[in-house]
Amino acid sequence: MAQPVPSDPQLDALTQLIASMGSVLVCYSGGIDSALVLAIAHRALGDKAIGMTAVSPSLASFEREGAIRVAKELGARHELVDSSEIEDENYAKNDDRRCFYCKSELYRIAEKKQREWGLGAVLNGTNTDDLGDYRPGLEAAKDAGARSPLVECKIGKTDVRRLARLLGMPIWDKPASACLSSRLPYGTRVTRERLDQIGRLEDAIHNMGIRQLRVRWHEVGNKAVGREGSIARVEIAEDELERAFVLRQEIVEAGKKEGFSYVALDLQGYRTGSHNELLTGRSLRVVT
């Protein structure tokens, strides 16, 4: 039996749309967009809504644990499944189509689990603010026939946060998240070791009390003398930069501990998809 939700036109429309599907698999990353879809799906369909999180080296451990915690708070059924996109050479070579290959693997798994669990539709957390950006993953979703209920109900990022807050979801203001592979410049190969190095440093900085950040990985060195290494270019939200500067020594020490040759603080601050800035006309817009 569907649980009651606060009265709100957008919330009502979203609930009715998802309820009309009968049963759904929600591709659930733990971010606020897919978490809202899962919350509404669970309220509308109960056990006929399942959140599926794909686990791979590109999913940070703190994001995985956060996804588990939020699903438990919602009372929703949540399944972790293994994803092997890193084994795909098209993905590992890390060109500007990387996200397409990643999402293609996600939806391949989702389609398999949809059949296994006997569910009617595969949903994602894409919202209307995602549509104008360079996001090859949207093409993969279209190819797979996945539905985007937030888009269908004309719900953008600001609406997502408002509705999540209305529902009392503690993560309503959670900063945007992205897979760890997005921290590597295009053309820099995606490896388990690099993703693990990035994830460990981000985790360490989070534990210092910094909320929104990215550790961008850059290769550095001189092959002529046989010395190679990496730079951690740390992006931190503008309103946390002052605190980061106070913590600079601790951040440097954490980076060195994780094997980075240099640790640099990006004075431009955190912004979504900064590696895309090198792709003409394809940088991501910042949507908070």
What number is the average pLDDT over the span 222-235? 79
What pLDDT, in 10s, does the model give residues 104-114?
999 999 999 99
- Residues 148 and 113 sit within 8 Å (Cβ to Cβ): no
| Distances, alpha carbon 250 to alpha carbons 73, 220, 236, 262, in Å | 33, 22, 15, 13
What does the mean pLDDT of the chain come to?
91
What number is the average pLDDT over the span 141-170? 97
Is 194's pLDDT higher than 50? yes
Whole-structure pTM value: 0.89
Range name among 69-73, 160-164, 221-225 with the lowest pLDDT average: 221-225
Position 166 scores a pLDDT of 96
pLDDT band at 97 (very low <50, low <70, confident <90, very high): very high
Residue by residue, DSSP assigns 261-288 as: SEEEE-TT---TTGGGGGSTT-PPPP--
Position 286 scores a pLDDT of 41
- Residues 114 and 48 sit within 8 Å (Cβ to Cβ): no
Domains (range + CATH), the chain: 9-166 (3.40.50.620), 180-278 (3.30.70)
What pLDDT, in 10s, does the model give residues 44-66?
999 999 999 999 999 999 999 99
Position 280 scores a pLDDT of 52
- % the chain with pLDDT above 70: 90
Is 283's pLDDT higher than 80? no
Please name the residues in contact with 226: beta carbons below 8 A apart, sequence gap of 6 or more: none
What pLDDT, in 10s, does the model give residues 1-57?
345 556 899 999 999 999 999 999 999 999 999 999 999 999 999 999 999 999 999
